[in-house]
């Protein structure tokens, strides 16, 4: 087991490095001179050269990459062109909001997905399975940003129950008030993973129920509830894997939903960076989110065999 963990950890290093190369090259594919924003249009050649040297742009590309990587490893992603603040400070103040939203959405997806999946898997082919499956595929197909708008129309515009945007940071809000700001964006974000979890749990439960050991348990005289526990235990590791990977997608995929709700997370940060062509912020945020994703996949890969010894560790 230890050997597997070490092997998996070592494998994550080249992946993380490759991710950093791609993030570094984002600046290279961006059109226009990166210095155009800092330098006046009529700057003399001498000043251009000096500035290039200051930003390390006079060095070969490979050297530039390692300088950038060295800085990034110490948490220095450069300065935001739009705000003048350090990129790491911008990310630090935003990432908590995205994480909070992603965890909240993951919990919703897990509860809804497990419930629907179990009900559907136990009743394959019956009307209730058809309904649950229809809801699941709608969840997978719905654009999160549109669902967000629809939720605002229903719960903010018509019913007036929940706030339509923001995170309630500036108000002297209590916990429940703060949570009320999270409800709609979380639901919009949770729809897709909830659908995915439902579909995989449904298939798993249906498969487990056809297994010999379930018949054996019935023959032994176990109650349906005790059998249910066995079925759940068999389906849980896969459900957890699915949800672990989804958490990573939600962290990064929330850009559209955060834009709808003006939620002050990394998604809104990315969106503002795109609108102002703030490449350092785009680059830094992408790197941090991608590394979080790599890390979450690593955690999933390592914990999965711990939860389910049947999974081969290769």
| Of 1, 6, 9, 30, the one binding other proteins by CB under 8 A | 30
Q: Which stretch binds other proteins (CB under 8 A): 10-18, 35-43, 212-220, 301-309?
A: 10-18
> In terms of Cα–Cα distance, which of 198, 175, 314, 191 is closest to 257?
191
Partner residues linked to 108 by β-bridges: none
Q: Which stretch binds other proteins (CB under 8 A): 14-22, 34-42, 108-116, 119-127?
A: 14-22
Q: Is residue 259 close enough to count as binding other proteins by CB under 8 A?
A: yes
Pull the structure tokens for residue 215: 């018949």
227 versus 255: smaller Cβ distance to other proteins: 255
Q: Which stretch binds other proteins (CB under 8 A): 42-50, 71-79, 95-103, 249-257?
A: 249-257
Q: Which stretch binds other proteins (CB under 8 A): 24-32, 54-62, 68-76, 102-110?
A: 24-32
Contact (Cβ atoms closer than 8 angstroms) between residue 118 and residue 232: yes
95 versus 260: smaller Cβ distance to other proteins: 260
Q: Which stretch binds other proteins (CB under 8 A): 80-88, 102-110, 175-183, 267-275?
A: 267-275
Pull the structure tokens for residue 49: 């050269």
Q: Is residue 289 close enough to count as binding other proteins by CB under 8 A?
A: yes
Q: Is residue 194 close enough to count as binding other proteins by CB under 8 A?
A: no
Binders in 134-193 for other proteins, by CB under 8 A: 137-138, 140-143, 145-146, 149-150, 152-153, 157-158, 164
Residue whose token pair is 């993380």: 16
| Of 78, 117, 163, 248, the one binding other proteins by CB under 8 A | 248
Q: Is residue 237 close enough to count as binding other proteins by CB under 8 A?
A: no
Q: Which stretch binds other proteins (CB under 8 A): 48-56, 60-68, 73-81, 281-289?
A: 281-289
Contact (Cβ atoms closer than 8 angstroms) between residue 234 and residue 208: yes
147 versus 167: smaller Cβ distance to other proteins: 147
Pull the structure tokens for residue 37: 């924003």
- Give the span between the Cα atoms of 268 and 278, in whole angstroms: 13
2 versus 159: smaller Cβ distance to other proteins: 159
Q: Is residue 238 close enough to count as binding other proteins by CB under 8 A?
A: no
CB-based burial, 98-122: b 16+ in 10 Å, e otherwise: bbbbbebbbebbbebbbebbbbbbb
Contact (Cβ atoms closer than 8 angstroms) between residue 99 and residue 107: no
| Of 4, 5, 8, 27, the one binding other proteins by CB under 8 A | 27
- Give the span between the Cα atoms of 309 and 228, in whole angstroms: 20
- Give the span between the Cα atoms of 67 and 243, in whole angstroms: 36
Residue whose token pair is 């389906």: 235
> In terms of Cα–Cα distance, which of 160, 150, 184, 208 is closest to 262?
184
Measured distance between the N- and C-terminal CA atoms of the chain, rounded to whole angstroms: 10
- Give the span between the Cα atoms of 92 and 72, in whole angstroms: 14
Q: What crossing angle do the helices spanning 224-253 and 87-122 adopt, rounded to 10°?
A: 150
198 versus 283: smaller Cβ distance to other proteins: 283
Using CB under 8 A, list all residues that contact other proteins: 15-16, 18-19, 22-23, 26-27, 29-31, 137-138, 140-143, 145-146, 149-150, 152-153, 157-158, 164, 248-249, 251-253, 255-256, 259-260, 270-271, 273-275, 277, 279, 282-283, 286, 289-290, 293-294, 297
């Amino acid at each position: 087991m230890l050997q597997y963990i070490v092997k998996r950890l070592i494998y994550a290093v080249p992946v993380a490095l490759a991710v950093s190369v791609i993030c570094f090259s984002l600046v290279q594919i961006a059109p226009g001179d990166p210095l155009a924003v800092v330098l006046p249009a009529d700057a003399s050649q001498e000043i251009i050269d000096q500035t290039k040297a200051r930003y390390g742009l006079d060095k070969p590309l490979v050297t530039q990459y390692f300088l950038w990587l060295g800085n990034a490893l110490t948490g220095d992603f450069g300065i935001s062109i739009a705000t003048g603040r350090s990129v790491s400070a911008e990310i630090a103040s935003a990432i908590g909001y995205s994480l909070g939203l992603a965890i909240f959405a993951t919990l919703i997806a897990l509860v809804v997905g497990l419930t629907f999946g179990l009900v559907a898997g136990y009743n394959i082919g019956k009307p209730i399975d058809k309904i649950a499956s229809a809801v699941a595929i709608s969840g997978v197909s719905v654009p999160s940003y549109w669902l967000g708008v629809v939720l605002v129309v229903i719960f903010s515009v018509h019913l007036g129950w929940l706030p339509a945007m923001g995170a309630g940071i500036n108000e002297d809000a209590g916990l429940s008030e703060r949570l009320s700001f999270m409800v709609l964006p979380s639901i919009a974000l949770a729809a897709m993973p909830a659908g995915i979890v439902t579909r995989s749990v449904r298939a798993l439960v249906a498969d487990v129920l056809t297994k010999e050991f379930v018949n054996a348990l019935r023959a032994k005289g176990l109650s349906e509830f005790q059998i249910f526990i066995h079925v759940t235990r068999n389906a849980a590791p896969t459900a957890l894997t699915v949800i672990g990977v989804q958490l990573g997608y939600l962290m990064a995929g929330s850009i559209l939903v955060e834009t709808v709700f003006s939620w002050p997370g990394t998604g809104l940060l990315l969106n503002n960076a795109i609108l102002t062509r703030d490449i350092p912020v785009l680059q830094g945020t992408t790197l941090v989110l991608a590394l979080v994703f790599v890390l979450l996949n690593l955690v999933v890969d390592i914990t999965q065999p711990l939860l389910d010894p049947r999974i081969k560790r290769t």
